[in-house]
Each structure stands twice: as C-alpha cells, then as structure tokens.
C-alpha cells in the first residue's frame, strides 16, 4: 500500500494550509532555538547537570498542559495561536538584549526557557483541536501526517543547520532568528478561520467524560475560502465566549480528566510516562554526548537524525493506519529500542547518525496514528481538554528524567544516560504486549469506543 495522493492534496484546504505554513515557520525558529538554548547553557557551564536543569525547566510546564485544556476549549483558537506567538517573540528577544547590555548569564537563559515552554502548552492543544474542525473525518490521519511532516521536516533541516550556525555565529545570534519566526507565524495564524465545535458533541461534555463515543463530526472545509470567513479572520468569537459562560472552568477540567479515567487512554499513558522519563535524561545529556564526539556540529547532526527519522515515520504513517493498533505498537517500539541501543554503542559517528534516524522512524508512525485515534473518538467540544490532559500526563516524567539524567550524566557518563532511552523503548513494547486491552486493540477505524 502506497501513500495516497490525497494525503498531499488536502493542503488545498485554505485553513489547513495556513495552519501548516504557520507551524512550518514557527517550528523553523523553534528548531534553531532548541539547539541554541541547550548549547548556550552547556557552553556557559560545561556541565550536564545544568543542561539537565534546562531540560527540567523546559519540560516541567508540559505537566501543566492539563490546566490549559479547558482554556483551549473555551477561548478562540485563533486568538490563542496569534497571541502566544507574539509573546514568545518578545521573550526570546531578551537573550540578545541581555548580551548587548552585558547582562547575559546562564540564569537569564534558564529564566526564559520555562516561560517560552509554558506558552507552548496552549499552542499544541489548540492546533490539535483545530484539525478536526477544518478537515473531514476521513482526512484526519492525512492531516495529522501533514502537520507532523511540517514539524519533523523543519526540525531535520534546521537542527543540522543550527549546529553549523552555532559554531559559526554563536548561539545568541540564533535567538534573533527565532524571534522573527514567531512574528511571521502570528501573521499567518491571524488569517485562520476555525469553525466552532459542533453542537452535536455537547452531549459528550454533559456526560462528564463518557468514553463510549462512536460518532464523528464532519466539518465544512469549504467555508474558510469564503470572503466573509477570510474577512472575519477567525472563529465566531462571540459563540466561543458564550459557550465559556455556560460551564465553569473546574467542570471543564473534570470532564477532560474524567474522559481519560474511563478510557483505554489511561493504561496507554503508562507507556508515555516510562519512555518520556528516560528520553528526558537522554535529551538533557545529548549536548555532552555530542561534545565528546565532535562539538556543536555533531549535536545538530544527531538532533537532525532524530527529527529526520520522525519525518520519515510521519510520511509513511498512512500505510500503517489499517493495521491493528496494539500489534503495531509492540512491533514499532521493539524495533526502535533495539536500533537506539545500537546507535549509542557504535563508535563510528556516521553509523550512530544512521541508526538514530532509523530508531526514530517508529515514533513518527506511532504519533500520527495515535493522534488520529484520539481525534476520531473524542467529541470535538472535549478535544482540547483531552489532548491537553494526555499531553500533560504523558510527559509528566520527562522533566524529572531530565533533571536526574543531567546529574547522572556528570556521574556515570552521558553515553549511559542516552542509552537508557533504548531500554525505555523496549519496556514500552513489553508493557503493551503484557496488557490484553492494549495488545488486542484493532485498527483505529475499527475501534468503536475508548472505554477501558
């Protein structure tokens, strides 16, 4: 089965095109920023403990994403996307300004990192919640694949480029690039038109998180192209504000968490907790791991390999959406864990890069298929809350892993901590195999309920 031509033609949807282009631009800046920020912290301190702290401060806000979910469902998605980009543009600009004023220190960098990350906890659920409103249900896998491609493709190119630029111009200069990218993305997002969530899905919210949901809601993908929609520049904000007054914030929060508690998503979160914990440590010690093998260019190359593998996975995800989800997950993570361990143990840099890229291909596949499963079965009016809660809970261990991994990196070596990522992936495969409700999950189009 080859990737359908339809997977690439859905970009003709004007709203999806704007969403993808905005994500492309901001992710280009983020890719440069991620390399520059971690290398700047490592360059200022020479310690994995500090890069571990940087990872903790960047990842800890992800645990708060669950509290952003009700806000995403209550606020205008367009306003969220535009506003967060503008504020982030100002935040990252403080680093070059601090250097110009001779005030730059590692603590200034560490102060900016969690603030930028905190704003992203609104951005990602908002983008996920927007997708099923602007494409037909049958196009969800293709749309998510396209968004993932925009993310990983940019990462692959700009991670490698950032490593070279850090060596040539210094990390601080790249903060200017990121600031401009946020401003450009805001200009693209301001023209988004996102229809309000279908009223047919209100029953899901009233049920307090009833997980036995079998219906999908079709969205009108032609409306974004109408002159009135473009002129308005976004959602019906009055409708969003009116809906926000009907229920309380805490009720919305409980509805999102209640949906997860009664669904298959709860045991599935265990896999994310373990894998993200060990990967938090690997990410924190990657600068030291790369420094021992070459320097900032090597760091950018390794991060590009990871992004490139996920890019390929996202590109071919549609090939796998008809396979049983449980069996697919076992196979993907078993292969990925084995390749990851091989990448860390080999001493030849080209081999490490190649194996690392191959090891992350399953990530791209799994991320796209899982996202489509959730978007298909969760009511639209609950989707922001559920996606935020899933993102928050699944990454809960990542900041802890980053902090511990940084300390262990100084104590036992960065290679050991990075290698633990492969062990975590193998555990995920074993866990899904051991849990019948996960192991027996059919293909996503055959799953009629998320009930546990």
**Would you state the pLDDT for residue 105?**
93
For residue 187, is it within any domain?
Answer: yes
The predicted structure's pLDDT at residue 109: 94
Domain count, the chain: 1
Say if 452 falls within a structural domain.
no
Residue 139 located in a structural domain: yes
pLDDT score of 310: 80
Q: Domain for residue 411, yes or no?
A: yes
- Within-domain flag for 53: yes
Looking at the domain assignment, is residue 242 inside a domain? no
pLDDT per position as a tens digit, 66-94: 677 777 777 888 888 899 999 999 999 99
The larger pLDDT score, comparing residue 392 to residue 412, is at: 412
**Per-residue pLDDT, 361:** 93
Residue 214 has pLDDT above 60, yes or no: no
Cα–Cα distances in angstroms (integers) from residue 425 to residues 53, 175, 271, 360, 439, in the given order: 23, 33, 9, 10, 16
CATH number at residue 263: 1.20.1250.20
pLDDT at 370: 83
User: Is residue 372 in some structural domain?
Assistant: yes
pLDDT digits (tens, 9 = 90+) for 371-406: 888 877 777 777 777 777 777 777 778 888 999 999
With 0.85 as the threshold, say if the pTM is over it: no
| d(C-alpha 194, C-alpha 180), whole Å | 25
Q: Using 50, 70 and 90 to split pLDDT, how confident is the model at 203?
A: very low
Question: For residue 11, what pLDDT band results from cuts at 50, 70 and 90?
Answer: low
- pLDDT for the residue 200: 39
- pLDDT at residue number 211: 35
> Could you tell me the residue range of the domain that residue 114 belongs to?
6-199+210-235+248-446
Domain annotation covers residue 205: no
pLDDT for the residue 204: 37
Nearby residues of 224 by Cβ (< 8 Å), 6 or more positions away: 13, 14, 15, 134, 192, 193, 230
Answer yes or no: is pLDDT of 1 > 80: no
Q: What is the pLDDT of residues 351-370, one digit of tens each?
A: 999 999 999 999 889 888 88
Position 88 scores a pLDDT of: 92
- Rank 35-39, 121-125, 331-335 by mean pLDDT and report only the highest: 331-335
In sequence order, which residues have a C-beta less than 8 Å from that of residue 409 and are 6 or more positions away? 48, 49, 51, 52, 281, 284, 285, 288, 417
- Comparison of pLDDT for 345 and 133, the residue scoring more: 345
Q: How many CB atoms lie within 10 A of CB 183?
A: 17
pLDDT confidence band for 229 (50 / 70 / 90): very low
Looking at every residue in the chain, the average pLDDT score rounds to: 78
């Amino acid at each position: 089965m080859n990737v359908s031509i339809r997977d690439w033609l859905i970009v003709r949807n004007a709203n999806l095109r704007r969403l993808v282009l905005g994500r492309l631009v901001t992710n280009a800046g983020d890719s440069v920023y991620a390399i520059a920020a971690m290398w700047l912290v490592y360059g200022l301190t020479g310690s994995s403990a500090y890069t571990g702290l940087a990872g903790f401060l960047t990842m800890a806000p992800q645990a708060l994403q669950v509290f952003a979910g009700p806000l995403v469902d209550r606020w205008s998605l367009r306003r969220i996307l535009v506003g967060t980009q503008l504020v982030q543009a100002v935040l990252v600009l403080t680093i070059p300004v601090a250097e110009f004023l001779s005030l730059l220190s590692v603590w200034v960098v560490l102060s900016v990192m969690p603030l930028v990350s905190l704003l992203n906890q609104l951005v990602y659920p908002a983008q996920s919640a927007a997708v099923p409103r602007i494409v037909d249900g049958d196009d969800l896998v293709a749309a998510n694949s396209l968004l993932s491609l925009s993310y990983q493709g940019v990462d692959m190119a700009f991670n490698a480029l950032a490593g070279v630029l850090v060596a040539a111009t210094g990390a601080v200069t790249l903060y200017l690039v990121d600031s401009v990218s946020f401003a450009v993305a805001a200009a693209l997002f301001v023209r988004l038109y996102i229809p309000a969530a279908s009223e047919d899905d209100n029953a899901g919210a009233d049920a307090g998180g009833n997980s036995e949901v079998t219906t999908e809601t079709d969205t009108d993908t032609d409306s974004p192209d109408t002159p009135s929609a473009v002129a308005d520049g976004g959602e019906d904000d009055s409708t969003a504000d009116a809906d926000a007054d009907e229920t309380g914030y805490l009720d919305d929060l409980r509805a999102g968490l209640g949906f997860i508690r009664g669904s298959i998503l709860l045991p599935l979160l265990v896999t994310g907790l373990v894998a993200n914990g060990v990967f938090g440590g690997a990410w924190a010690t990657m600068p030291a791991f790369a420094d021992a093998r070459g320097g900032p260019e090597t760091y950018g190359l390794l991060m590009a390999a990871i992004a490139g593998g996920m890019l390929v996975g996202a590109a071919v995800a549609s090939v796998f959406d008809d396979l049983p989800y449980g069996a697919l997950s076992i196979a993907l993570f078993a292969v990925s864990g084995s390749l990851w361990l091989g990448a860390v143990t080999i001493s030849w840099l080209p081999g490490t890069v190649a194996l690392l890229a191959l090891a992350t291909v399953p990530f791209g596949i799994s991320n796209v298929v899982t996202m489509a499963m959730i978007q298909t079965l969760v009511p639209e009016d609950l989707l922001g809350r559920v996606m935020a809660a899933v993102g928050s809970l699944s990454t809960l261990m990542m900041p802890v892993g980053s902090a511990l991994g940084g300390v262990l990196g100084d104590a036992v070596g960065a290679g050991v901590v990075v290698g633990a990522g492969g062990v975590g992936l193998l555990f995920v495969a074993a866990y899904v195999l051991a849990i019948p409700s996960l192991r027996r999950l059919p293909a996503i189009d055959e799953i009629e309920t998320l009930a546990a």
